[in-house]
């Protein structure tokens, strides 16, 4: 099964909760009036698209109907598809790989798949012949370093780790020194994810950032926030806490397979002003790819009657 087919399959619950319901609404043959727009608004909100994004989409449909850009309800779904694609489009780089090492700080609460994400990123760039190093900065979670070492072996890259309970900043300091000395291309730094709304964890992230900048002033070149798609709008709430402390440059959305809340992808860009850069749709090393808005929207908006790809 291709990655697109896996994505399409993984989004099936979201489509039932989102696209299929819009299709059913359109099928009622109603005109684009206030009642229709109210129903559409409820579907978008239930699909975890978010209040801000839903309002923007409803106003776009209302204006298009008024301007006669769309003339009936049958044209609403194609119009939404194009509008959402435009919303998700991002002209930025996937990963700003410049200096050696390029430092990528990875943040997020426990349980979102942060350590697994780092392992998959390491494997992805190893396949493109980059020299990769990992830093086990999550020293609080039991076996986090061991988990990262396993991923390091799979990606054939070195992992810098201390004993459990050690100072995360000390791990980062050693990793920075090692990455510079060994001419590493990419250094991925894992961080602790518990107590995400507590000042001590935020202070810890600030301390790590200062140590990174002491060695390479322009680093980290990327700070990726890992979010769990199954948590829907709660992921947005988590993100806002991290945005208060870390200069987040993009989002990695995990567990997109099997969730009914995939509409949160649309909300992330509009609510947070951040691009989704990577998505995960399974446990395997290859179930992880750069986020492509066109393909995501194609998978999300496939209707029940749409022909299957060969």
CB atoms within 10 A of CB 33: 10
| Averaged pLDDT, 23-40 | 89
- Positive or negative CA dihedral for 82, 88, 89, 94? negative
DSSP letter string over the chain? --HHHHHHHHTHHHHHHTHHHHHHHHHTT--SSHHHHHHHHHHHHHTT--HHHHHHHHHHHHHHHHTTSS-SGGGHHHHHHHHHHHHH---S-SS---SSSEEEEEE--TTSSHHHHHHHHHHHHHHTT--EEEEE---SSTTHHHHHHHHHHHTT-EEE---TT--HHHHHHHHHHHHHHTT-SEEEEE---SSTTSHHHHHHHHHHHHHHHHH-TT--SEEEEEEEGGGTHHHHHHHHHHHTTS---EEEEE--TT-S-TTHHHHIIIII---EEEEE-SSSTTSEEE--HHHHHHHHT--TTSPPP-
Instruction: State the pLDDT at residue 210.
Output: 93
Q: Is the pLDDT score of 190 beyond 70?
A: yes
Instruction: State the pLDDT at residue 70.
Output: 95
Please state, in angstroms and rounded to a whole number, the distance separating the CA atoms of residues 173 and 175. Answer: 5
Does residue 8 contact residue 302 with C-beta atoms inside 8 Å?
Answer: yes
Instruction: State the pLDDT at residue 307.
Output: 42
Does residue 283 contact residue 117 with C-beta atoms inside 8 Å?
Answer: no
Q: Is the pLDDT score of 212 beyond 80?
A: yes
More confidently predicted of 247 and 161: 161
Q: Mean pLDDT score of the chain, rounded to an integer?
A: 90
Instruction: State the pLDDT at residue 76.
Output: 95
Instruction: State the pLDDT at residue 245.
Output: 78
| Averaged pLDDT, 78-104 | 89
Q: Is the pLDDT score of 34 beyond 70?
A: yes
Q: Is the pLDDT score of 309 beyond 80?
A: no
Instruction: State the pLDDT at residue 304.
Output: 62
Q: Which of 26-30, 81-85, 129-133, 152-156 has the lowest mean pLDDT?
A: 26-30
DSSP letter string over 89-137? ---S-SS---SSSEEEEEE--TTSSHHHHHHHHHHHHHHTT--EEEEE-
Structure tokens belonging to residue 97: 């790989």
Instruction: State the pLDDT at residue 219.
Output: 93
* Lookup result for tokens 């609403």: 76
Q: For residue 248, say if its preceding peptide bond is cis, omega within 30 degrees of 0.
A: no
| Averaged pLDDT, 82-104 | 88
pTM: 0.91
Instruction: State the pLDDT at residue 30.
Output: 72
Q: Is the pLDDT score of 95 beyond 50?
A: yes
Q: Is the pLDDT score of 195 beyond 70?
A: no
Q: Is the pLDDT score of 200 beyond 80?
A: no
Q: Is the pLDDT score of 167 beyond 50?
A: yes
Instruction: State the pLDDT at residue 120.
Output: 94
- What residue ranges define each of the domains in the chain, with the CATH number in brackets? 3-90 (1.20.120.140), 102-298 (3.40.50.300)
How does strand 288-290 pair with strand 276-280? antiparallel
Note the pLDDT tens digit of each residue in 39-69.
Answer: 999 999 998 999 999 999 999 999 999 999 9
More confidently predicted of 109 and 80: 80
Note the pLDDT tens digit of each residue in 228-285.
Answer: 999 999 999 888 888 887 889 999 999 988 788 999 999 998 889 999 999 998 887 7
Instruction: State the pLDDT at residue 90.
Output: 84
Q: Which of 20-29, 165-174, 178-187 has the lowest mean pLDDT?
A: 20-29
Please state, in angstroms and rounded to a whole number, the distance separating the CA atoms of residues 301 and 20. Answer: 9
Strand partners, 26: none
* Nearest CA-CA partner of 219 in 210, 228, 227: 210
Query: Highest mean pLDDT: which of 140-154, 176-190, 257-271?
Result: 176-190
CB atoms within 10 A of CB 196: 18
| Contact residues for 188 (Cβ-Cβ < 8 A; gap 6+) | 104, 106, 118, 121, 122, 132, 133, 134, 135
State percent of the chain over pLDDT 70. 95
Q: Is the pLDDT score of 308 beyond 70?
A: no
| Contact residues for 58 (Cβ-Cβ < 8 A; gap 6+) | 37, 40, 41, 44
């Amino acid at each position: 099964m291709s990655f697109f087919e896996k994505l399409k399959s993984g989004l099936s619950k979201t489509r039932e909760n989102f696209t299929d319901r819009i299709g059913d609404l359109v099928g009622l043959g109603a005109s684009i009036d206030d009642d229709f727009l109210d129903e559409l608004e409820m579907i978008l909100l239930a699909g975890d698209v978010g209040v801000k994004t839903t309002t923007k989409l409803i106003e776009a449909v209302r204006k298009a109907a008024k301007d006669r850009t769309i003339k009936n309800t049958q044209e609403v779904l194609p119009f939404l598809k194009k509008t959402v694609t435009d919303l998700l489009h991002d002209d930025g780089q996937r990963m700003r790989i410049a200096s050696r090492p390029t430092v990528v700080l990875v943040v997020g609460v426990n349980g979102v798949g942060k350590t697994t994400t780092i392992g998959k990123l390491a494997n992805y760039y190893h396949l493109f012949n980059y020299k990769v190093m990992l830093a086990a900065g999550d020293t609080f979670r039991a076996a986090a370093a061991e988990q990262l070492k396993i991923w390091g072996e799979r990606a054939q890259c070195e992992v810098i780790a201390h004993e459990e309970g050690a100072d995360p900043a000390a791990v980062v300091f050693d990793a920075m020194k090692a990455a510079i000395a060994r001419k590493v291309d990419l250094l991925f730094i894992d961080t602790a994810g518990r107590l995400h709304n507590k000042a001590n964890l935020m202070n810890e992230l600030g301390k790590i950032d200062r140590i990174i900048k002491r060695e390479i002033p322009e680093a980290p070149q990327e700070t990726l926030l890992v979010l769990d798609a199954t948590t829907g709008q709660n992921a947005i709430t988590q993100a806002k806490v991290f945005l208060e402390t870390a200069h987040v440059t993009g989002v990695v959305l995990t567990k997109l397979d099997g969730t009914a809340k995939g509409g949160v992808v649309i909300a992330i860009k509009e609510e947070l002003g951040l691009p989704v850069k990577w998505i995960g749709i399974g446990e395997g090393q290859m179930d992880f790819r750069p986020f492509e808005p066109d393909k995501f929207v194609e998978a999300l908006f496939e209707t029940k009657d749409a022909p299957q790809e060969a």
